[in-house]
Amino acid sequence: MIKFIKKIFKGKTEIEKLEAQHKDLLNQAFIASKSNRTLSDTLTFKASKIEEKIIELRKNETNKKN
Task: List pLDDT tens digits, range 28-63.
Answer: 999 999 999 999 999 999 999 999 999 999 998 888
24 versus 8: the higher-pLDDT residue is 24
- Is residue 5 domain-resident? no
The answer to whether residues 54 and 18 touch, using CB atoms and an 8 Å cutoff, is yes
Number of domains in the chain: 1
Q: What angle do CA 19, 22, 24 make, to 5 degrees?
A: 110
- Is residue 47 domain-resident? yes
State which residues form the domain around 51. 13-65
- Is residue 17 domain-resident? yes
- Residue 8 pLDDT: 66
52 versus 13: the higher-pLDDT residue is 52
Residue 43 burial (CB count, 10 A): 21
- Residue 40 pLDDT: 97
- Is residue 22 domain-resident? yes
